[in-house]
Chains A and B, each alone.
Chain A
Amino acid sequence: MKTFTNANPRDLPQALKLLEQARAAGKNAAVAGGGSDLLGMIKERIVSPDVVVHLRSIKGMDQVASEKGGARVGGLITLDALSSHPLIRRQYAVLAEAAESVATPQIRNAGTLAGNVCQRPWCWYYRNGFPCFKAGGNQCFSINGENQFHAIFGGGPSFIVHPSDTAPALVALGAQFRVTGPSGERTVPAADFFVLPKQNAARENALKDDEVLGMVRLPAPRPGTRSAYHKVMDREAWTHAVVSAAIVLEMDGEVCRSARIVLGGVAPTPWRVPDAERVLAGQRITPELAAKAGEVAVAGANPLRKNAYKVPLTKAVVQRTIVELARRA
C-alpha cells in the first residue's frame, strides 16, 4: 500500500481542520469511516491519498437518540449497531433490514452508516482502474461493454448503479442528512443528497470535498407505518444489490394510505418511483394491485444490451415486497 499519514481526530471540528490543513499543504486527503472500502481502493491505486482522516476515532458520533418520536442517528454508527438497535428495528425496519443486508458481519462491524451511504460505485470498470467518468475520465465503458449489472433508470453519461443499501431505505423514510463543512452545517433531504450523472458524472452525491455526512434524522413514523427492504443478490452474501426495493407503507387496516417505493441497484441514485406509489395510495392492497405497482415501477426503464432481465426482476421485487408488507402485522 502507498504511504500516507493517518490522523485520528478527537472531534468533528478537528477532523475538518485536518482536511483543511491537508488541502492547504497541497495534499490529497481522504476520510475513513469503517475504512474497509477506502483501504481496498488505496491498495488498488484507485485513490491515492497523502492524508487519511479516521473519523471513527471521534467519540459520540455513533449513537441513536430518539427525538420527537423520530430518531437522530450518528453517521459513524456501525451497520451492525444500526441494524440491531431496538428503536431502529421497531420504527424503521426498512433501515435495519437494509443495514443487515450489507456485505458480511465483519464489514458491518466496521462499516458505518455514513460510509455506506457515501461509498463509491462498485462498477467493475471503475473498480478495475478504467479511466471512466467516476475516475475523472470522460467516458463510460459499460455502455458498449459488460453492462449486466448497470443502470436501467437515470443512466447517462455514466451508467453505474448506486451501491448503497441504506440509501434507498433513508430516501424511503424521508430522512434528513446533516452535512458539516468548514463553513458550518446544512441539512439536505435524503432525496436531494444523491445526484444523477447528468448533474455530476464524477460524483454520486452533493457532498463537497471538505464536507462530512455527520448525522441523519429520521422523522417520526405515521401511525400504521410498516416498512421492508428486499435485496436480490447474485450470491446470498457479500454482493451489492442486483435489484433492491425499500418500501414504506402507511396502512389503515388493509388500505394503504400512502406509499414510498425506492429502488436500489437499478439507477445511479436511489430511484424513487412515485407513479408506482400512487397506484397504492388509498387502495386495498391485493396481489393484483401490487403487480400493477410493479409494472408501473418499471414503466420508464431503459435497459442496456445485457441488463434487460432487471426489468422483470424489478417488477417482481416490488410486487413481492408490497405483498409481504401487507401481510406483516
Chain B
Amino acid sequence: MSKKNRISRRRFLEGTGAALVAAEVSTIKAQNETAASRATVKLTVNGTAQRVEVQDNWTLAETLRDHLKLTGTKIGCDRGECGACTVLVDGKPMYSCSQLAVWMDGKSIQTVEGLGQGEKLDPLQKAFIEHDAPQCGFCTSGQLMAAKGLLAHNPHPTKEQVEAGLTGNICRCAAYNRYVEATLAATTPIATGGTATFAAKADAPVSKSLKTVGHATPRIDAMERVTGKAVYTRDVSLPGMLYGAVLRSPHPHARIKSIDTSKAAAMPGVKAIVTHENCQVVWGAGGIAGGVQYNDAVKKITKQRRYAFNNPVRFVGEPVAAVAAEDRHLAEEALSHIKVEYEELPFVLDAEEALKPDAVKLWPEGNLSLNNQNESKPLSQKRGNVDEGLRASEHVFENRFSTTLVHNAQMEPRSCVAAWEGDKLTVYTPTGGIANCRNDMARDLGIPMEKVRVVCQYMGGNFGNKNQNQDADLITAMLAKQAGAPVKLEMSRKEDYIGMHGRWPTIQYFKVGVDREGTLKAIQLRGYSGMGGYRKNSGSIGGVDAFQCPNIETTVYPVYTNRTVSGNFRGPEYPQGYFGFQSMMDDVAYKVKMDPVEFALKNMTRKANDQVEYTNYSLDECIRRGAEAFEWKKRWRPEPGSDRGPVKRGAGMAFMAFRSGVGPSNAVIHVDSKGQYYVHVGVTDVGAGAKTTMGLIAAEALDVPLSQVKVVWGDTDRCPYSVGESGSRTTIQTGYAVVEAAREIKKQIAEKGMPTGNAVLTAATGPNPRMDSGKQRAAFGAHFVEVEVDTELGYARVLKYLAVHDCGRIINPLTAEGQIKGGVLMGVSMALHEDFIYDARTGQPLTPGYYGARVITHRDAPNIEVLFIESDDGYGPYGAKSIGESGKVPAVGAVANAIYNALGHRIKDLPITRDKVLGVLV
C-alpha cells in the first residue's frame, strides 16, 4: 500500500472543530469549557411529574438509565441507527439516545416500565410473550415502544403498516417475522405456537409420547424481557462505580513511540489509566495460534501473542490506552488528553496481497498465520487424488468467489463491569460461556480460577466469539484494580465494529471436475481468509463436506491483514464457504444442463467424508420434500434470466450438512422438600432460549410440570462448568447433562425418598458421551428461495423462502423456529447488504455501524417458512441435534443462486448490491 496520503486520525479530529452544521455560528476559536452546564427540567415520566436536574449534554436515554434508574430502555448504537432506546415522547416514538434531556422540558415520556399497569401487562407485552418475539431481548423494549406508538394512532394496522412502523428498530437476532406477528396479534388474536410445519422423518419418526419436550412453550424468562426487568451488563450499577473509556489506534499499522498520560492523569476525577507500558496482560482468547482454543499448552509455545494493549498496533480501533473516571463524559474527555506519538508503518488490507513477498509483515514470522505448533502452513483437507480426478473428468470448471468482512453486530455492544473485593474479581460481562470466560480471565491475569466470578444474567445477542473473555473484560479488570473501585466499560457501536471482530473475508478459487453424467469427480479449493492483525479463530472455509466426491483438496491460507480482527460469527467458516461451494456447484449444474435439485440429489453427501455413516440421514428427504413444498419445478427456470422483465423472477436452492456431535458438559439438580427442582446450568441464554430448553428437558426427564423446575443460570458462583453457548451445542451437551442429572436425582429419590424439612437432595453430573465408532451425527437442511431482480433499478428481493431442516427432535418448536428464521434473515442480509468497507488508501474503515453496514430492517425482512423434518437418532437429549447456526449456513448461497436464475448472470462477489447487479447488465 502506498505511504502517501496516509492521514493521522488525530489530525482529523483536531482539524474538524471549525466545520459546523449549516446555520451554525463558527467562531474564532473554541474555548475549553470545563464546568458542565446544568439545568432543571420538568418531566412526566410514566405518568409521574418530576423535576430532574440534568447536565446539558446528557441524552434522554442516559438520563433515564443512569439517573432515573429506568434501565429497560437500552442503548444499542447511541446514534439513532438501531431503535433499542425508543421511548414515547408525548405519545410519539423517538430515539432517546438522540434527544437531550434539556430538550424534554415539559414533555411526557413513556418507557417500557410504564407500559403495563402494575402487574397487568399491555396487550403488546402479552402478545410478544405468546409469539416469542424477543430472542436476546435487547431490542425488545424499543420494539414494544415503537409498536405502542404505532397502535396509538393506527389501532388496526396492516402487516405492511406494522413493518413500516417498526422499521426504525433493528433486531440482529432477526426476529422480524415474530415482532410483526405479535404486534398484529395484539390487535386481532392470531394463533400462537409458531408457524413452522413438522414432518416426521419417513424411516425414523420421533415418538410423540413426550409430555413437555416438543410442545411450544413461551420462554421462562419472557416476562423479564418484555417488561424491561431483565438485567444486562450495562444495567449493572455498583456503589462507587467509575466509568471506563478506551483510546484506540487511529492507524491501520503503527509503532507506538511514546504515550504521555500525565495531562489526563492530572484531571480531577480521573482515577486510573492503563496502557501497554503498565498493563502487559496477554489476551489469550484474542489471538489463538492456529485458531484452536487457547489453553495452557498453547500459551506455553505460541509465538504470536496478543496482549490487551499491543505495540505495534495492527488495525484501526486497536486499544492503545484506557481511562477510568468518575463519569462517562469525563472519561471520554480524558482520552483526548493522552498524547500518543506513532511511527506509521505501511499496511495491507487484502489477504492475497498480504502473501506477496514485498508486502509489509505484520508479524516477524510473516503474514501466513502460524498454527498452534508454530508452523507456517495453510489449512488443508485431502481425500483421494485431486489432480487425477480432474484429469479423469469429462468437464472441468473454474471460478473465483469473494466474500466480505461482515460484523456480528449483536444488539448489545461489548460492555463489562469489574469489581475487586480483596483478591477476588467479579466480572459482569455479556458472555455465553461464563465458565470459559472465568478460565480465560484467571489464566490471563495469573490468578486462581476460584478468585474469579463471572456473572451474566442476560445478554444482547452472541453470534460468535462470546464463549471466551474479551479484551474489554481484561481492560476493565485492570482499571478497577488500579483505581481500587468498580469500573463499568461500555463500548460504543463504532468501537464494537472496529475494535472486536467480524466474519473473515475470503477469496475462493475453485476447480471442479464432473463426469458425463454430472457426477462429481474432483473438487479443488484454494482460499484466502483475511484474519486481521490477530488470528482469533480458524479462518477455514467450509462447505466441501456437503458433497460426495472421491477426490478433494482444499487449501486455505489464514492471512494477517490490517483490518479489524476476524473471528467466529454464526457458523464461523460456513456461510461464506457455502456461498462459494453452493454457487460453484450451482454453476456446474447449469453448465452440464442439470436441474440444481437433481444435481444436489446426485452429488450430496451420503456418508461423512464419504466414509463414516451418519447416525441417521435425511438430506435427501430435506431436498425432496423442500422441492415439493416450494413447488420448485414451477418457480425455477431452466433457462436462467429468461423471465421477460424488467423485474425478473427466479429460484435457487442450497443444502447443508452441519456438525452435530455429542460432548461433555455439567449440570446440578437440587430438590427440596416441597418438590421444587433447581436445575443449575452454566448457560446464560444468548437469545436462543437455552434457559427454557434446559427447563423443558429437566421437566421431561423428571416427569414433573415445568412449574416445578427453576433454572439457575449465569453465575459461576452458582453454576457448574457447562459448555459455552457456541457451536450450536448447548442443547445437545448441557441438555444431555441435565437428563443425566435428572436420572441421578430420581434414583436418589427412589432410594431415599423425597427430602423433608430443610434437607435437599443433590445430583451433580458431568457426562462425556461418545459416538459409537463408525458413526457421525449431522444436522441436515435445504433452502429454497424465489427472488425478483429489478434489472433497471438493480435490486434483488426475496419473495418466498422455505427452509427445511432436520435438527433431530425439536425440544421447543417456538424457539427452534425462531432460530431458523433469524439465521436465514441474517444470511439474506449478508447476501444482499452487509459490507464493512475500508478506504484502500488510508486503511480506515468507512461503514462501522448499522447505518453504514446496511443491516436489514423490518421492511427488508421477507417471511421465512420453516419445515422441520424431525428425527431421533438416539443421541443427545431425546434426539435433539444442533440448530442455532443451521439457518444461516446455506442461506447466502441459496439467495445468490436464485439471483442467478432470475438474472442469468452470476454475481461472484458479496454482497450482491445494486452496483453489481446493474454492473453485470451493462
Contact = CB atoms under 8 A, between A and B. Distances in A.
Contact of A48 (B30, B36, B55, B92): B30
Contacts, number: 278
B167 A57 contact: no
Nearest to B332: A1
Nearest to B494: A44
Interface in B831-872: 833, 837, 839-842, 844-848, 850-852, 854-860
Interface in A19-72: 19-20, 22-23, 25-32, 35-41, 43-50, 52, 54, 56-57
Nearest to A213: B23
Contact of A6 (B34, B56, B329): B56
Q: Which of B9, B81, B793 has the most CB of A within 10 A?
A: B793
Contacts of A41: 21
Contacts of B149: 105
Contacts of A286: none
A106 B25 contact: no
A131 B37 contact: no
A275 interface: no
Contacts of B83: 104, 106
Contacts of B25: 19-20, 22-23, 28-30, 209-210
Given A118-B21, A309-B919, A235 B29 contact: no
Contacts of B859: 235-237
B470 interface: no
Q: Which of A28, A31, A104 has the most CB of B within 10 A?
A: A104
Interface stretch (B11-19, B125-133, B277-285, B702-710): B11-19
A27 B30 contact: yes
Contact of B914 (A104, A106, A136, A242): A242
Contacts of B26: 28, 209
Contact of A8 (B105, B168, B792): B105
Interface in A115-149: 118-120, 124-125, 128-131, 134-137, 141, 144-146, 148
A27 B19 contact: no
A44 to B, nearest CB: 8
A28 B27 contact: yes
B897 interface: no
B33 A28 contact: no
Contacts of A103: 80, 168
Interface string B85-110: 01001001111011110110100000
A54 B102 contact: yes
A273 interface: no
A317 B11 CA distance: 40
Chain A interface mostly helix, strand, loop or mixed? loop
Interface in B149-177: 149-150, 164-165, 167-169
A235 B854 contact: yes
A213 to B, nearest CB: 7
B922 interface: yes
A118 B918 contact: no
A306 interface: yes
Contact of A234 (B18, B99, B494, B914): B914
Nearest to A230: B793
B57 interface: yes
Q: Which of B11, B30, B34, B150 has the most CB of A within 10 A?
A: B30
B913 interface: yes
A145 B839 contact: yes
A5 interface: yes
A35 B99 contact: yes
A43 B78 contact: yes
A130 B14 CA distance: 11
A320 to B, nearest CB: 8
A25 to B, nearest CB: 8
Interface stretch (A199-207, A215-223, A277-285): A199-207
Given A30-B24, A239-B851, A309 B918 contact: yes
Contacts of B86: 106
Contact of B839 (A4, A40, A119, A141): A141
A325 B7 CA distance: 48
B167 A238 contact: yes
Interface in A174-194: none
Interface of A: 1-6, 8, 19-20, 22-23, 25-32, 35-41, 43-50, 52, 54, 56-57, 80, 103-107, 109-110, 118-120, 124-125, 128-131, 134-137, 141, 144-146, 148, 202-205, 207, 209-213, 232, 234-239, 242, 306-309, 312-313, 316-317, 320
Given A5-B33, A23-B27, A129-B13, 14 more contacts: A1-B57, A39-B99, A49-B24, A50-B30, A104-B167, A125-B846, A135-B16, A135-B19, A211-B23, A212-B23, A236-B859, A238-B168, A312-B792, A313-B793
15 contacts: A4-B57, A27-B27, A28-B30, A29-B25, A31-B24, A35-B99, A104-B168, A106-B146, A109-B93, A119-B22, A146-B840, A232-B795, A235-B860, A237-B860, A313-B793
A-B interface, 3 closest residue pairs, ranked by CB to CB distance from nearest: A104-B168, A236-B859, A316-B792
